[in-house]
Structure 1
Amino acid sequence: MTKAYLQARKAWLPSGLKNALIERMEKSKATTLLGGTPSSAAEAIGISPQAYSQWPQILPRRLADRVVAAIARKHLPAALIGSELCVDQAETK
């Protein structure tokens, strides 16, 4: 792992997320990590609030991964995870 990655990881990884990565993630924890309301959580993930309301109380791994990815996009530097601009430029070459 690069030094920049490790520094960025320390800066954004709150203790609640550390526990969520180790244990099963509950929907209430996901909601808290993504802004505190179901609407803000749905917006952060890119789904409708109606779709978010249908998520189970204990998230399967694929949904927990979406939560972690949304948090990473919010807190990690774009150069570290790749921004949309970088992806678009790579596709045009």
Structure 2
Amino acid sequence: MASSGSGTARLQAWTATDALRHANRGGSAAHEGVLVLVDDDSIAKFSTVPSSSEMAMAEIGMTVLSPADAQDILDLGLHGIALSRYAGCGQG
């Protein structure tokens, strides 16, 4: 079966999403937290089309935290880990 480049990219994205879905369903222990970091190419600097992962993360059931600057990455990262410990599922 031949596959095009876009079909391969969709398969890779689906496989990554499937792995995150299973990890999120498995949950985390009371004293553990899961923070998923996703890097999007929203202006297509390194890819041929822009990409955004917010909808995929929401479909999996993960909360999406969107930092605006470097300090937000640190602050929201800590909040995300605390939220994951409380809720028992992954945060992104």
TM-score between the two structures when normalised by the length of structure 2: 0.29
Structure of higher RCO (CA pairs closer than 8 Å, 6+ residues apart): 2
Whose helix proportion is higher, 1 or 2?
1
